[in-house]
Structure 1
Amino acid sequence: MTIAHASRTDWTDGPAPSTSGEWIARAGEVAAVLAVDAAERDRAAKTPYAEIGLLKDSGLVTLLGPAGHGGAGQDWPTAYRVVREVAAADGSIGQLLGYHYLWNWAARLVGTREQWERIEADAARHRWFFGGAVNPRDRDIVVRDEGDTLVFDGRKTFSTGSKVSDVTVLEGVLEGTDKHVFAVVPSGSEGLTFHDDWDNIGQRLTESGSVTVSGVRAPWSDALGYVDKEFRPRVYGTLNVPTIQLVFVSFYLGIARGALETGLAYTREHTRPWLHGGHERAVDEPYVIDLYGDLTAKLWAAEALADEVAREGLWFHLNPDEVTPRLRGEHEVRVAAVKAHATDVALEVTSRVFEATGARSTASRYGLDRFWRNVRTHTLHDPVAYKRREVGVYRLRDEIPEPTWYS
């Protein structure tokens, strides 16, 4: 079944999933649909309206939403696994789903209780898909205070989700200050223009191009975490970086698994034994067996570490008022470790799988190269060396990283 034939009735005829395992299985069903024409869609690089429709129809977009408003009420470890499942079939859609979960959760991380309860309820009820124009490294959006209204002006280099989103998380700096402001606005807002300039070698369907923000207005009441125009910080709010990095880990490992499974299937069906090896089947070649054993062991180990760190992180989301700088810092170190390891493993798996599949597997019709292109593109998001540095400094000097936009 292709995306074009995946209708709402495929998932609405029976009861909705109710457990973590059932939702992960639902993600597997979505992945099976995406996998059918993933290589073709990667080459076409068209705006993934149908793919986002699939995520909505399956219910995956409301995974973290409150059950009382139509959401699934699931937790972050489940969300990470769901992202991993989807990314195994299509890395771009896995990233979009992971970012959606992050932007949906941004109100809870940064906002007041009234704000996040309202946003999460509306998002679950209407099955909103979230995009984000957030790139805090550059102060490229200025926010003006006009009484009861905030006005956003500027440009963001990246805006993942852009045209396929229902709402967008905007971020800018309040004029004349160093205060960052986040607000959720309709993606169809006047003055919000998404550009078709995402032309990278990987993650081609993520709609991560630039956006121009010209006079986009939002009420002060929508400025997340602000009360009477003053921001009220919480240590829990600094969990945005560990959470987003675990999302990255999830789709890196998902993409790696997709490459490995695709390679295994190709080797079983198409790879020829080396003419001087003395074997009649490629699956009997010692070097092929060793390679798949090596890559599988490394991937399984990385997945196990990711799952363990995700479970550790759940405590912070369940106990937001008990988060301390020290606990947060130690968790960030663990996240940095799994991010560094997942990056290395994903790059190795997606590259070395060709050693087992052989020269003919490089034909474009198989699309085996997309896995490496996807991982290589996104793992450049922030230098992995600095993740290893966080771990090394903690181990050597017992120093935790200071919360920044990247640590």
Structure 2
Amino acid sequence: MTVTTAETVWTETPTTSAEWIARAQKVSDILARDAVERDRVGAAPYAEVQLLKDSGLVTLLGPTEFGGGGQRWETAYQVVRVIARGDGSIGQLLGYHYLWAWAVRLVGTEPQIGAVEELYTSNNFLFGGAVNPRDTDLTIVDRGETLVYNGVKSFSTGGRATDLTVLEGIIEGTATHVFAIVPTAQDGIVFRGDWDNLGQRLTDSGTVEIKDVEVDWAGAAGFVDKEFQPLVYNTLNFPALEIVFANFYVGIARGALDTAAEYTRTRTRPWPYGGDNKELATDEWYLREGYGDLQAKLWATEAFVDQVNRESDAVLHDARENLTEQARGDLAVRIAAAKLRAADVALEIGTRVFELTGARATSNSVGLDIFWRNVRTHTLHDPVAYKRREVGGYVLTGEIPEPTWYT
């Protein structure tokens, strides 16, 4: 593994959006150098997370008074996209971190927001989340002053490389869900290290066992005197995460197209049996047509995702009390559309680049498969067909999605 910041001195902290995106590009370039080799090993991403921390990207959204970048979500989306271009796994890690760091704003009380943001920003902590909503076997026992979590969660992204873990469970004998943020390094959090999937192999998204993890009631996000304080804004958890998905999908797609184009420029041989033989592969009409088609589709998708990024940014940074159910629904549909469009174009590019690079490009040493494997793995997070249905219902009847764990 060669990912290291030893050769890079991160001097001045970026202050503008453009500077932060440029910083992300430098990090992405470092990650891209050995992304294939690190993917093959599939180790926990300790070095990669340290790179994110050293570069300042972990605290991009953190308040400036605690040493953070004080940036908006629109910049964070672009940063995630740029990182995913070099390494899809690390783009996912960073995107999830941003969402979980913001989760206290989504569901927490004002005192909780201040405490959590100071904690993670001043310490340069990375978030992970044991919050797979399809696992209902994480239970909570109310012991009066404290809550005790026990059970198992799969798909705990970030795993061993994180500093803080977001827990979600149900209070025993009730239907009450409680989120809490706890230190990852404790005896009661045990990672099985069983993430061995087709793609996104460096996200360490395996199973985690929670054993008698105790949380003060004061740390139960959004609860005051054991009663949850509801807002429409509380229901943005999943849409806010899905637009992060869309950005690292298009980032992976951009990485695939750029990598393939460079291969074609430098290594693909022209086809000698077409009757219109060319000296260079870059002059082959079918290659120009293929790259032109994929580039046009990607540009269109990036532009649409950028627009939805701006819409999401405006909602997330507005006063929480301002969000209505209709505005929430309108945004959720737009995010669903951005996600499905990003998934479609990333999968198409990840597959078709092989047609444009040639048989030799299937060599494991080239590693062009990493892009398709990464996006294929994560786009199965929830069925895209249901996103299409949400958008279709909105178009035909004006119906907005009912907030659930996946809408």
TM-score category of the 2 structures, normalised to the smaller one: over 0.9
The residue matched to 1:205 in structure 2 has which SS? Answer: helix
* Residue equivalent to 2:372: 372
* Counterpart check, 1:65 vs 2:62: yes
How far apart are 1:7 and its partner, in Å?
Answer: 2.9
Asked if structure 2 preserves the Cα contact closer than 8 Å seen for 1:8 and 1:58, the reply is no
Give, as a single letter, the amino acid of the residue that structure 2 aligns with 1:244.
L
How far apart are 1:315 and its partner, in Å?
Answer: 1.8
* Residue equivalent to 2:342: 342
* Residue equivalent to 1:116: 113
What is the number of residues matched between the two proteins?
Answer: 404
Give, as a single letter, the amino acid of the residue that structure 1 aligns with 2:400.
I
Deviations 1:58-102 (A, max 9, x none): 000000000110000111111110000000010000000000101
Deviations 1:6-53 (A, max 9, x none): 2386112xx211011110110000001001111100111111110000
Return the alpha-carbon distance in structure 2 between the equivalents of residues 256 and 290 of structure 1.
Answer: 18
The residue matched to 2:365 in structure 1 has which SS? Answer: helix
Judge which range, 315-324 or 16-25, deviates more: 315-324
Asked if structure 2 preserves the Cα contact closer than 8 Å seen for 1:156 and 1:210, the reply is yes
- Out of 194, 197, 210, the position equivalent to 1:197 is 194
* Counterpart check, 1:165 vs 2:166: no
Asked if structure 1 preserves the Cα contact closer than 8 Å seen for 2:362 and 2:369, the reply is yes
Deviations 1:220-277 (A, max 9, x none): 1000001101111111111111110001001111101000000011000000000113
Aligned pairs for 1:58-97 within 5 A: 58-97=55-94
* Residue equivalent to 1:139: 136
* Residue equivalent to 2:245: 248
Return the alpha-carbon distance in structure 2 between the equivalents of residues 190 and 281 of structure 1.
Answer: 60
User: When the two structures are superposed, what TM-score results if normalisation uses the length of structure 2?
Assistant: 0.98
Give, as a single letter, the amino acid of the residue that structure 1 aligns with 2:384.
V
* Residue equivalent to 1:287: 286
Aligned pairs for 1:318-357 within 5 A: 318-319=317-318, 320-357=320-357
The residue matched to 1:173 in structure 2 has which SS? Answer: strand
Give, as a single letter, the amino acid of the residue that structure 2 aligns with 1:373.
R
The residue matched to 1:3 in structure 2 has which SS? Answer: coil
* Residue equivalent to 2:145: 148
* Residue equivalent to 1:315: 314
Give, as a single letter, the amino acid of the residue that structure 2 aligns with 1:51.
E
Deviations 1:343-377 (A, max 9, x none): 11000011101111000000001110010000000
Return the alpha-carbon distance in structure 2 between the equivalents of residues 190 and 384 of structure 1.
Answer: 38
* Residue equivalent to 1:300: 299
Asked if structure 1 preserves the Cα contact closer than 8 Å seen for 2:72 and 2:317, the reply is no
Deviations 1:82-129 (A, max 9, x none): 000000010000000000101111111010011011101111100000
Asked if structure 1 preserves the Cα contact closer than 8 Å seen for 2:257 and 2:349, the reply is yes
Judge which range, 314-323 or 63-72, deviates more: 314-323
Give, as a single letter, the amino acid of the residue that structure 2 aligns with 1:363.
S
The residue matched to 2:78 in structure 1 has which SS? Answer: helix
Deviations 1:150-170 (A, max 9, x none): 100000011100100001000
How far apart are 1:2 and its partner, in Å?
Answer: 4.2
How far apart are 1:318 and its partner, in Å?
Answer: 2.2
* Residue equivalent to 2:185: 188
User: When the two structures are superposed, what TM-score results if normalisation uses the length of structure 1?
Assistant: 0.98
Return the alpha-carbon distance in structure 1 between the equivalents of residues 305 and 405 of structure 2.
Answer: 21
Return the alpha-carbon distance in structure 2 between the equivalents of residues 368 and 222 of structure 1.
Answer: 45
Give, as a single letter, the amino acid of the residue that structure 2 aligns with 1:234.
L
Asked if structure 1 preserves the Cα contact closer than 8 Å seen for 2:170 and 2:176, the reply is yes
The residue matched to 1:367 in structure 2 has which SS? Answer: coil
Return the alpha-carbon distance in structure 2 between the equivalents of residues 83 and 2 of structure 1.
Answer: 21
Asked if structure 2 preserves the Cα contact closer than 8 Å seen for 1:7 and 1:57, the reply is no
Give, as a single letter, the amino acid of the residue that structure 2 aligns with 1:274.
W
Aligned Cα root-mean-square deviation (Å):
1.1
* Residue equivalent to 1:18: 15
How far apart are 1:190 and its partner, in Å?
Answer: 2.3
Tell me, which stretches of 5 or more residues in structure 1 are unaligned?
Answer: none
Return the alpha-carbon distance in structure 1 between the equivalents of residues 235 and 333 of structure 2.
Answer: 13
Tell me, which stretches of 5 or more residues in structure 2 are unaligned?
Answer: none
Asked if structure 2 preserves the Cα contact closer than 8 Å seen for 1:195 and 1:211, the reply is yes
